[in-house]
Structure 1
Amino acid sequence: MGRTDAPRPGTPGRPLPGAGSSPTGLLDLLNVAAVVLDAHGRVVFWSPQAEELFGYAAPEALGRFAVRLLVHQEHWDEVISLFGEVMESGADWAGAFPVRHKDGSTRLVEFRNMRLLDDLGDTYALGLAVDQAMVARVERGLALSARLVSQSPIGLAILDPDLRYVTVNPALERIHGVPAAAHVGRHVREVLTFLDAEAVEGRLRQVLETGQPVSDRYVVGRTAADPHREHAWSVSYHRLEDAAGRVIGLATSVIDITERHEANLATTRARNRLALVAHASASIGTTLDVERTAHELAGVVVPDLADVAAVHVLDSVLRGRSPSETGPARFRVAAVATAPARATAQAAADPPGGLASYDSDRLLTRCVRTRKPVLVAEATRGDLWHIARTSEAAALLEATGVHSYLAVPLLARGEVLGALSLERAGTPEPFDEDDTLLACELASRAATCIDNARWYQSVSDTALALQRRLLPELPPRLPGLEIACRYLPAGAVTGIGGDWFDAMRLPGDRTALVVGDVMGSGINAAASMGQLRSATRAFAQLDLDPAEALRHLDRLTEDVEHTIATCAYCRYDPERGECRVSVAGHLPPALVRSGRPAELLDVPSGVPLGVGGWAFSTTAFPFRPGDLLALYTDGLVETREDPIDARLGILRDALTAMAGEDLEEACDRVLETLRPPAGDDVALLLARARL
């Protein structure tokens, strides 16, 4: 038994041809030394590892007595006794023993000794030795590794090349909510049923094939251990290889980052809510119209906050009454909005513009009666019957998957105007307290705008009613005249002003025709118009010349604070076939003679009433049967875009084309041709002389 060609320490061994497996390299890690002694205790085999462990080269050790080479003299008898016992009985011996190194130092070495017999019957002793310090280091390393794995808060697992779990640590058991026994031997797809297992396995196989690790991949899901909470993990995968470079599997690490995930979500939600509030501030209340404001509110909350939204305004509020505290609540459905993916859910809502009555046990009624939000985070079938107005609507809510409900009151200036109802069907998360606060903020902003629109409409109706009340009821017949007139208010309450027209029968079958415009707008202008119209009627009955009548009106207007008006006053005498006209800062009347194009009368324009210090003049012109006279206010012809001359030209063309038509139809066609989309008040009076 001579020296072998064993590989040097640190060089991984090669497997024999046809061997079942490759070497693990564990013996190389431990650096096990092999020594063979003959029956007399002489060294007959000395491995390279023995050279490294004891310090003697093979030529120095072969043939020498091992006890004299390696053992201090005071231990010779003990070692010889143990050697003899092994050689005689064949019993193995193992233990640690102090050994003398070539350099004179003493090392504690762990031995495994056994007897060998060859085919000739000769007896030998095989000793396997390893440095006890190295063994201690390896044992400490293994113990530390095992403790680190078992106590680590990071989930760890080893997978074989077929992606079956080989081992998992307790942290991964807790993360997956699956015990270790249910992991081992099972494929990844069988355990990670709460994730997209096919995608996970695809990434794992890619790591196996390429060796390229995956680090810090973000994964979100709900485990069987905690199905009601969304968890997030950072996962990493890397390939495992043995000392020979053979792929033996995969290692995975999983870190639970749910708290960080939830903090990020909370930050994102807060940012989105601020953006939604900012968007609402710019989008809600762009007009003083109740329905438009309601549509703007519904459009803001869908789909960012809810899948279905409806704005309900109390009918009593719209009628200017106090809401009832008992019985059903009656609402006008001002607006309904649904997310595109939930368009079918709109069928369960009340149609916009309709009147809906909700019984006292309905959640919407409770919301307006208590003036507090009503939140149903997880709506049951029974809850849906208290959400919907009818049983049919409740069935539709259930069919469309509505699972969460929120109603918040529309409160403005201490008064409840109605409620905003929100539903979630496609969005999986239920409404929570944060959603309630956001909905209340949006509803409060919208309620103020709705209240402004409501009061605006009330003031507008009042001003318009006042103005129409102040306009005259023309006499059914006037001597020698056919008359038609129109009044159109402006589009806004502030645009309702002091335009007026009048036709009065005077002594001697004469007729006074008047068109005027009080500068300014609103109720004050309408009231001033009423005063001037009444004064004009009084002066007309005195049968004054038009210029004289305007002079009296001018003095009267000077006494009315902050009032300036324009006026065109015409007196028609059928017996003489003549009209006399005086103008106070007003646009000139238009005249259409039979068979001729329309023209603007060349009359002195004068100054507006209320300026004072100006002498008005009267212009007379023939007015015979078939002739047409048009008196109008500036709202008919003045715009910001077009020159006044161009607009007056359009008026002349329109009157020329309609000279022979019925006056009522002519009035409508003139307004249709000239009235701008949004402008001032318009007063128009057409008079045609007849036999």
Structure 2
Amino acid sequence: MDEEESLVTIGGNGWGEAFLRAVFTQPQVGLHVLDRDLRVIKVNKVAAGLRGNPAERVVGRPAAEAYALYGIAYDETVLRDVLATGRSATDFLVTGRPTGDAHRRSVFSVSVHRLDDADGHALGLVVTSTDVTDRERARARLGLLHDAHERIGTGLDVERTARELVQVTLPGFADSVVVALTDAVLRGEDPALESADTAPLLRCAAAGRTEAGPPVPDVGPVLLPGIFGDTLPEAATLLPAEAADGRRPQAVLVAPLKAHGQVLGAVAFHRADTAEPYGPDDVVLADAIAARTATCLENALRFTREHVVMYALQGWPLRQHEATQRAVDVAQRHRPGGTGAGSWYDVIPLPGARVALVAGQVENPGLSAVATMSRLRTAVHSLSTLDLDPHELLARLHTTTRRLSGEQGDAPGADEPTASCTIAVYDPAVGRLDVARAGTSLFAVVRPDGSVDDRPVEDGPLLGAEGPPFACATHELPEGSTLCLASAPPPGDEGARPDGIMAALSRPDRDPEAMADDVERLLAPDRVLLLARTRRLSPDELAEWDIPFDFEAVGTARNLVEDRVAVWDLPLDPFAVTLVASELVTNAIRYGEAPITLRLLRDGAGVICEVSDAGQAAPHLRHAKAVDEGGRGLLICASIADDWGVRYIDDRKTVWAEIGTKGPARS
């Protein structure tokens, strides 16, 4: 027996009427039967749009006209297609507003099937509808929450995050949205500094509305007390709205933006008077969206604070010391990009009118890189006082970097710091350049004829990494040569094309500032650039004599120094200068080896006295007894001079003393 025969049998036994009665009286699925002209000929009480209304209001009307009375739009094309083809249309959604509840929007899942007679001719249609409003609302809430996770917090800026919250929730969740943040958050400060006993000062950071939405304030005004209530609620809350014109406006849904107990701001959602009011599920959703936004705001605030710290650490004011102008003319460039690249440069004056040029960069950008950069920069300044050769200074800086790596290695997720660094020491007295390099940062020498040497020193291992000794080289430069130092490109940036940089450097007829402008345009932000045009000391600034290896030559040296001080007409006590020179020469003859060279350098209103010999023994101060006949030479020099020291170059040492270079001459 087939299905059709079964139905006939059931009908013959009285089951047919019972079956139809049960179908039309069940309370879950709405039924309406249409004839071939798509007129309603029978409905049950739960049919879409009726909800307790008399069936006479729709029976006999065309389907589209009947249900338009209840805000439900049927697609007549779908109905006619099912009638013509016999192919059912199932589970398509229609929306409407039930009678007596103009604010509530209902969603129905509708299916349409054709009714045929025994010969297979179409009699009409049967339309079933099921209320799926709760299901679709839950799906919409999940979709909105997903959008919030995807679209809020795409940037590390608090105001941008506030605008994204408005864009995500408008118009699907609200007709007007106002996001306010505390003054501390807008200034990039830690909200924990705000007193917990006082209501936070909230300012409008973003707002938006639909055409039907209530008005919203402009960005900037103070909003508390105001639309968020007299005090900010602890969780998402519905606040009753008041209207003076007798209307019944919608309640405002207010949610605080809090992270780890600290108030970052608040958001207010408002729907138009004709929209469906907020319910408990909407309050839960608002809480979840606010929590997501607060997390993004906290991340943005942390980035802002780190950005401020990094900018402050990297944006140090670098002044060109007058002492460096005697050796080089310097042009410096640094365009901070806020990535925490850890780049730095320095121009450090050294004894003997020399100058050290430094450019470096810590790998793995971030706040820790900037902090490491500051510590390495301090170490370079400290080590430079030892008058070490550049490659020896890098070796000690390498040890410092490894020590920092050991300190940070215990921290979870900490990267072991490594750094690139180039150190060049230039002596204007002889035009000598000593350079050493760790890593692959840019270093080039431009000679006065326009030729460019882009590899005056080989690449070396990074500071803090394993590798061979650091590469070093020595050059003798003609006056007017230009040194170019720049930090390495940041990760992911291959850097400017070398031929472009070389072309920008190959015109030495320009001053260093103009050359720096051309090169800077080729470099990425956060890279530092240092250009130095070399000078040579003139005969009016430098005097040098070879001194015989004989104590009788001490008097001759004294006379040479006295005459030169007189020629230079310096406001110094000649006796003090000659005494220092004679003691240094005596010390070299007594403890050093031939040959001996005496050099006098003019330094503004003072002089620098240098005595070089081939001995390697380091001089040191002695505290002679009252009955001792000697041992007071360096003590006398240290008492008279502003500063003194010793340095080693190749197979020679030089003992130097500065007199009158840091203030008025001593009498």
Contact 1:467 1:526 in 2 (8 A): yes
For 1:630 and 1:290, how far apart are their aligned partners in 2? Answer: 40
User: In the TM superposition, what are the counterparts of 1:422-571 in structure 2 within 5 Å?
Assistant: 422-425=269-272, 428-469=275-316, 472-476=318-322, 478-489=325-336, 491-492=338-339, 495-497=340-342, 499-562=343-406, 563-571=417-425
Task: Tell whether 2:538 aligns with 1:670.
Answer: no
Work out which of the residue numbers 352, 356, 368 in structure 1 matches 2:221. Answer: 356
Partner SS for 2:221: strand
Work out which of the residue numbers 429, 451, 469 in structure 2 matches 1:614. Answer: 469
Contact 1:375 1:406 in 2 (8 A): yes
Contact 2:482 2:531 in 1 (8 A): yes
For 2:281 and 2:203, how far apart are their aligned partners in 1? Answer: 27
Partner SS for 2:228: helix
How far is the alpha carbon of 1:313 from its aligned partner? 1.6
Task: Tell whether 2:141 aligns with 1:273.
Answer: yes
Q: Which letter does structure 2 place at the counterpart of 1:303?
A: P
Work out which of the residue numbers 509, 521, 533 in structure 2 matches 1:688. Answer: 533
Who is 1:409 aligned against? 256
Does the C-alpha gap of structure 1 residues 660 and 225 become closer, same or farther in structure 2, counting only changes over 3 Å? Answer: same
Aligned identity (percent) is 33
For 1:445 and 1:482, how far apart are their aligned partners in 2? Answer: 54
How far is the alpha carbon of 1:267 from its aligned partner? 0.8
Contact 2:258 2:264 in 1 (8 A): yes
Partner SS for 1:441: helix
Does the C-alpha gap of structure 1 residues 190 and 350 become closer, same or farther in structure 2, counting only changes over 3 Å? Answer: closer
Partner SS for 1:316: helix
Partner SS for 2:142: helix
How far is the alpha carbon of 1:558 from its aligned partner? 4.7
For 2:281 and 2:250, how far apart are their aligned partners in 1? Answer: 18
The one-character-per-residue Cα deviations of 1:198-217 (angstroms, maximum 9, x if unpaired) are 99999999xxxx9x9x9999
Task: Tell whether 2:166 aligns with 1:298.
Answer: yes
For 1:550 and 1:200, how far apart are their aligned partners in 2? Answer: 80
Cα RMSD between the aligned structures?
5.4
Who is 2:428 aligned against? 574
Q: Which letter does structure 1 place at the counterpart of 2:222?
A: S
Contact 1:577 1:624 in 2 (8 A): yes
Does the C-alpha gap of structure 1 residues 565 and 179 become closer, same or farther in structure 2, counting only changes over 3 Å? Answer: closer
How far is the alpha carbon of 1:418 from its aligned partner? 0.9
Task: Tell whether 2:630 aligns with 1:630.
Answer: no
Who is 1:329 aligned against? 201
Which stretch of the first structure deviates more once superposed, 297-306 or 315-324? 315-324
Work out which of the residue numbers 235, 238, 241 in structure 2 matches 1:375. Answer: 238
Work out which of the residue numbers 465, 483, 500 in structure 2 matches 1:650. Answer: 500
For 2:242 and 2:174, how far apart are their aligned partners in 1? Answer: 18
Partner SS for 1:428: coil
Contact 1:307 1:427 in 2 (8 A): no
Q: Which has the larger radius of gyration?
A: 1
Does the C-alpha gap of structure 1 residues 201 and 500 become closer, same or farther in structure 2, counting only changes over 3 Å? Answer: closer
Work out which of the residue numbers 434, 454, 457 in structure 2 matches 1:603. Answer: 457
Q: Which letter does structure 2 place at the counterpart of 1:305?
A: F
Does the C-alpha gap of structure 1 residues 547 and 450 become closer, same or farther in structure 2, counting only changes over 3 Å? Answer: same
Report the TM-score, using the length of structure 1 for normalisation: 0.57
Does the C-alpha gap of structure 1 residues 661 and 297 become closer, same or farther in structure 2, counting only changes over 3 Å? Answer: farther
Contact 2:461 2:470 in 1 (8 A): no
Q: Which letter does structure 1 place at the counterpart of 2:227?
A: L
The one-character-per-residue Cα deviations of 1:314-338 (angstroms, maximum 9, x if unpaired) are 11344323167556833250x3455
Partner SS for 1:319: coil
How far is the alpha carbon of 1:382 from its aligned partner? 4.5
The one-character-per-residue Cα deviations of 1:6-31 (angstroms, maximum 9, x if unpaired) are xxxxxxxxxxxxxxxxxxxxxxxxxx
For 2:253 and 2:460, how far apart are their aligned partners in 1? Answer: 65
Contact 1:158 1:168 in 2 (8 A): yes
Contact 1:188 1:197 in 2 (8 A): no
For 1:501 and 1:425, how far apart are their aligned partners in 2? Answer: 60
Contact 1:328 1:357 in 2 (8 A): no
User: In the TM superposition, what are the counterparts of 1:303-318 in structure 2 within 5 Å?
Assistant: 303-317=171-185, 318=188
How many matched pairs? 495
Partner SS for 2:448: coil
Who is 2:69 aligned against? 194
Work out which of the residue numbers 170, 176, 189 in structure 2 matches 1:319. Answer: 189
For 2:61 and 2:442, how far apart are their aligned partners in 1? Answer: 99
For 2:110 and 2:98, how far apart are their aligned partners in 1? Answer: 15
Contact 2:348 2:355 in 1 (8 A): yes
How far is the alpha carbon of 1:630 from its aligned partner? 0.5
Contact 2:73 2:94 in 1 (8 A): no
For 2:398 and 2:452, how far apart are their aligned partners in 1? Answer: 30
How far is the alpha carbon of 1:634 from its aligned partner? 0.8
Q: Which letter does structure 2 place at the counterpart of 1:369?
A: L
Contact 1:331 1:357 in 2 (8 A): yes
Partner SS for 2:325: coil
Who is 1:122 aligned against? none
Does the C-alpha gap of structure 1 residues 192 and 624 become closer, same or farther in structure 2, counting only changes over 3 Å? Answer: closer
User: In the TM superposition, what are the counterparts of 1:67-106 in structure 2 within 5 Å?
Assistant: none
For 1:265 and 1:690, how far apart are their aligned partners in 2? Answer: 84
How far is the alpha carbon of 1:451 from its aligned partner? 0.8
The one-character-per-residue Cα deviations of 1:225-272 (angstroms, maximum 9, x if unpaired) are 665656779999999xxxxxxxxxx999999x6xx41xx111112122
For 1:326 and 1:557, how far apart are their aligned partners in 2? Answer: 47
Does the C-alpha gap of structure 1 residues 179 and 531 become closer, same or farther in structure 2, counting only changes over 3 Å? Answer: closer
